[in-house]
Amino acid sequence: MRYAHIRCCINEIGLKSLLQENHSNTRKPARSEEEKRELYEKIIGVGAEMFASEQGFSTRKLANRLSMTQGNLYNYVTSKRELWIAIRKHDFELIKTEFSNAISSHSGSYIDLIEKLMIFFLDYSDANPNSWKMMFLIDPPKSNKKGPLEENYEPIQLFEIILNLFNLGSKKGEIRNVSPLVLYSLAVGAVLTEMDIKISERSKVNELISDSSLDKIDIANFRKSLIETVRYILTP
């Protein structure tokens, strides 16, 4: 009887183990398309943050941060280089959409429109510094092979929108015939200048802004001067 009781206990333990094993092997339901999009957005956001701020960043660290396996992460981006491309593509498309919407809904002068786009660009860079660094400052990681994103990549052509805007404004006589690269250099340089202003405001040790003649400068006054300069350059 004692042996029968032991066998019964062993059978019960075996049954429980089998049930636990079957439960652990049960596949989770597939993510919906909305859940996939949300996860992709999270990968882009956290990826940009870690890419721009962490030394020795890797996709393994990103997967750990997101509580994913690296294999699951590779369902969305297959390498560190692909992640770099995905982040830039995502943010350039967002800016292009906002630019296109602003242009299609604008009813004033071309210079007013350019001012609006300039302010949006500065506001976006201020709210998304890591994404901005990915777009303009951080070089692509090297890779021995191209992933699917790079293989099928098509340039966003954001600059073409600005070039077309300049051409239309110039033909109507509202904009002086200057290179759009002038505006580009002013916009990118303005973001870097605002970063320096913020550093100076926080630490008071920034060499660029610490000159006594610039002690009272702040971002609001800087932007006002910037827009006045842009208008001066563009006005015929």
Is 1 domain-assigned? no
- Collapsing DSSP to helix, strand or coil, 9 comes out as helix
Residue 2 placed within a domain: no
Q: Binning pLDDT at 50, 70 and 90, where does residue 112 land?
A: very high
The model's pTM is 0.76
Q: How far apart are CA 189 and CA 136, in angstroms?
A: 11
Domain harbouring 196, CATH code: 1.10.357.10
The predicted-structure confidence for 186-211, as pLDDT tens digits, reads as follows 999 999 989 888 877 666 665 655 55
In this structure, the number of other CB atoms found within 10 A of the CB of residue 98 comes to 14
Number of domain units in the chain: 1
**Residue 91 and residue 135 in contact, taking contact as beta carbons nearer than 8 Å:** yes
**Is residue 66 a part of any domain in this protein?**
yes
Span 49-77, pLDDT tens digits: 998 888 888 999 999 999 999 999 999 99
SS3 call for 34: helix
- Domain with 107 in it: 32-234
Contact predicate 234/178, CB 8 Å: yes
Give the closest residue to 111 by CA, choosing from 46, 72, 169. 169
- Is 147 inside a domain boundary? yes
* 11 lies in some domain: no
